[in-house]
Amino acid sequence: MLYQLASRQSGTEFPLDGYDITKVPDETLIELFDTAPLLHDYQGTRIVRLSRTLVLKGGELVRPCEAEIMKLVEYRVLNIKTQDTFFGCQCYFIMDFIEGDLIQDCWEDLSQAQREDVVSQVASMFPALLSAQVPQQPGSVDCQFCKAKGCWFSDIGGGPFRDVTAMEAWFNRKLEICQSFEQAPDTVPLFSFDKLILTHQDIALRNLILDPKGKVWLIDWGDAGIYPEGFEYAALAARRWTAVLFTDMLFEQSLNI
């Protein structure tokens, strides 16, 4: 735990402080993935801090399509590409370090006005995602091998889908199975998707950082992709039990935008 805390302490010296990241060899960065101060390590995803301004993310569940998604939303990302024949398509990538607190950890200490401001900022992200110019190709971005991930797909993922029709067929097959085991009413209509939009799929307090200036940052784009318009709101509703007040405030605010 002390090693983890060191990654956030102001007095910690980080391995690449003062270095030009564009001149650091990939081999060095991959070595630092195992030795740099740890920020996060959970279920196949590891994030370490390279310097006061940069972090490195990787692991068996981290995929190139996450970096491509982040480019769409104008995160500053530097890719380090690698291929692993056992785990399939993987990568490491470097991102800016965001100073601040996870809102999951500070929500209870925020005033009502601060909570309303947080919710307002998160609600403003929805139209930004909706207006992003994306191809009408469902699933992950710029990776023909990456499966669709998120709460609406099985643990092993779904697809890849060649087009919207293929994704509709996948969901309708799942619906058919649910109905055969009486886990869904027979009256539920078949899935038919129209517009596809950029979707995060995991907007939750644990994925929001409140920086010292009060700005909210949305992190962890591992499940993001191009999906039907309702997926974002449906995912929020499905996870409402984890943060009832935040979710209810967010839905109310979103309706007013």
Question: Which regions of the chain does DSSP assign to beta strands (E)?
Answer: 38-42, 45-49, 54-58, 77-84, 88-96, 101-102, 196-199, 208-210, 216-218, 225-228
Q: Would you call 121 helix, strand, or coil by DSSP?
A: helix
How many domains are contained in the chain?
2
Number of neighbours of residue 241 by Cβ within 10 angstroms:
8
Same domain for 51 and 135, yes or no, is no
Give me the pLDDT at residue 143, please.
75
Same domain for 150 and 130, yes or no, is yes
Give me the pLDDT at residue 17, please.
95
Number of neighbours of residue 54 by Cβ within 10 angstroms:
20
Extract long-range pairs of 37-41: CB within 8 Å, 24+ residues apart. Answer: 37/3, 37/4, 37/6, 37/7, 37/12, 38/3, 38/4, 38/7, 39/4, 39/7, 39/8
Same domain for 215 and 172, yes or no, is yes
Asked if 63 and 146 count as a contact pair (C-beta separation under 8 A), the reply is: yes
Residue 245 in tokens: 């007040």
What are the pLDDT tens digits along the chain (257 aa)? 444 456 777 778 999 999 999 999 989 999 999 999 999 998 889 999 999 999 999 988 888 888 888 887 776 545 554 444 334 456 888 999 999 999 999 999 999 999 999 999 999 999 989 988 888 999 988 777 789 999 899 888 898 999 999 999 999 999 999 999 999 999 999 999 989 999 999 999 999 999 999 999 999 999 999 999 899 999 999 999 999 999 999 999 987 76
Give me the pLDDT at residue 38, please.
94
Q: How many residues does the chain have?
A: 257
Give me the pLDDT at residue 257, please.
65
Same domain for 109 and 142, yes or no, is yes
Alpha-carbon separation of residue 38 from 49, 204, 207, 244 (angstroms): 6, 22, 17, 31
Same domain for 173 and 230, yes or no, is yes
Same domain for 154 and 249, yes or no, is yes
Give me the pLDDT at residue 75, please.
61
Residue 59 is part of which domain span? 2-96
Same domain for 171 and 107, yes or no, is yes
Same domain for 57 and 140, yes or no, is no
Q: Which amino acid is it at 149?
A: K
Of 96, 126, 154, which closes a domain? 96
Q: What is the CATH number of the domain that holds 111?
A: 3.90.1200.10
Asked if 208 and 216 count as a contact pair (C-beta separation under 8 A), the reply is: yes
Q: Would you call 148 helix, strand, or coil by DSSP?
A: strand
Asked if 170 and 161 count as a contact pair (C-beta separation under 8 A), the reply is: yes
Of 49, 73, 96, which closes a domain? 96
Give me the pLDDT at residue 189, please.
96
